[in-house]
Structure 1
Amino acid sequence: MTEQHPSAPSRAQSGTSGVQHVTERHDDHFTVVGNHLAQHPDLSLTAIGLAVHIQSLPAGTPVGIKALAGKFPEGEIRIAAALRELEAHGYLARPRERLQSGRVVTRTVSYNKPRTAADPEPRPAPATPRPEGKAAPLPDRSAASDVLTGLRVLDSRLLLSERDVRRLAPAVTAWLERGVPAEAVRRALTTGLPTAPIQHPAALLAHRLTALLPPPLPAAPPPSPPVVRPDPLQTCDGCDRAFRAPHPGHCRDCRTDAHRAA
């Protein structure tokens, strides 16, 4: 019998149509990627490739839009769209935190298995301490989902599927994080709707959420330093000269003379 070597490269079969694989074993510098991602039916190729790249990076590597656009030719618009795809399908979470200084920071969490809506929000420890101060809590994803699912009560044409709600929830969360009340978000999404039937309500809402997004609130001004008031004027009990002190008594010169006399 011919000895088999499972780790040896397999030969590509000739005379067949379609892809042919030549598989070699990786002993180091490799990343395990599930077929649920590599063969995802709803993700774009850009999103799939970006997810694989992010999963291969060491913890703490910057994966913001500008950082990624500086490494790849797709540009900021396509990369931003791919990140939103991964977030909508549970492969990425980008929770935002408002620090006591008023600055809003974004944490990026990558999942090699997609999260579901029932999973708790990620809370990994930060890679480095944040000197700006403790982060204040921001609206969770359920508040954004409530806004979206409630739109059909205001206009039955805005009936959304669960998948549409999951996809649009990050955009609504961005509004809530910028201090916009939920009722104001609903008004922005439902005011001035066309009178004709709405064929694609999710696309219409996605456009409004992006085009009408208000700017962030300005950072809170630093606290004013305490006002130091001077001591009140007192009249010296020895020479009747005015001097400043917290309590009545003798001025400095009289106190010095009394000390010398003693």
Structure 2
Amino acid sequence: MDTPQNTALMRALAEVPGPLPTSGVVHIALPHTERFTVVGNHLAQNAALSTAAVGFAVRIQSLPQGTEVGIKALAARFPEGEKLIAAALRELEAHGYLQRTRVRLPNGRMVTRTVFCNHPEALLRTRPAMAPRQGPDPLAPQVSTQVSAPVSTQAPALGTAPIAVPAPVPAHIPAPAPVTPHVPLPAPEAPETPAPPPVTERPVPAEPHPPTPPTSRLVPPPTAPKAPSRPLPQPRELTPGLQQAAVALLSDLRRHAPELVLSEADIERLTPATATWLERDTHPDTIRQALTTDLPQPVKYPAKFVRHRLTALLPPPLPGAEELAPARPRTVVIPLQTCEGCERAFRSRTPSLCRDCRTACGQPAA
């Protein structure tokens, strides 16, 4: 069987005006009426950008405003992997098409704001001032904002040009009555005159989100001095047995957690802290579980991570048998005294006579 041909495409090709090129691509340009995005050649033919970066730029530009455009969101939407998407976004960010900044919300939570510009070179040119945005600025994470050249600001320039052309006509024609009715052409700009009131009312929507006073700040500022890090635990006596067991435990961590690969220098620095755990009668399995449970993804600095857990999760020494014994009630023992009369021993808190001598002498009991 012959290869199936697209007859509709062949008919459209026959309707292309002019002679067709002998080689290369032939464009059949049909006008779009819905669901289309305008892409500039500065992006589509940018030789400095990879094909993946150009493709993701077109995809981000075609998404509605407010759509999540993070690495994981794009990986869930498209078949490419996270590494390829991250590399493409870095290219777009380096060429000015994409900008990602960290923004703090009024509740103190940090989010990422993503801004996409479809023509970054136009931002560097001298442009007329844009009208201020009305309403509060939403600080939503991963906001995709498409910035385009202000078309509305060019309308007054086009409107004033026809007014300047008929100006010399009255010099030759004494009665150009129809020209004066065209002077109110700037009348459509009248709705733009109320623009200053929104500028004065701009602070009004910001009142529901007042800035947090410095006294009640929950998150310290970046310039705040950091607390000194706690020193590594040190054993009372680093015996050869403790040192050997600590080195073996640290070297064996990569079998249980491939992320915790420590160098020889790191193991030498962390050996005293691990020996402190062993000195306090901590089982090696307990130490291994404390170091490998709930690992962050990814573990950027394994040595610092292990150092933090060895310092922050250090258990106290085990109590001795005397400390674990229950407290017994103290028995009051009355001391022995010698009777001053008959020299017989008896129990009394103070020296005195015995009971018989007191009865004989008629003295009361002490």
Q: Given the two structures, how large is their TM-score scaled by the length of structure 1?
A: 0.42
**Based on CA coordinates, which of the two structures has the bigger radius of gyration?**
2
Q: Which structure: greater helix fraction?
A: 2
Flag the structure with more relative contact order, 1 or 2, with Cα contacts below 8 A and sequence separation at least 6.
1
The normalised TM-score by structure 2 is: 0.31
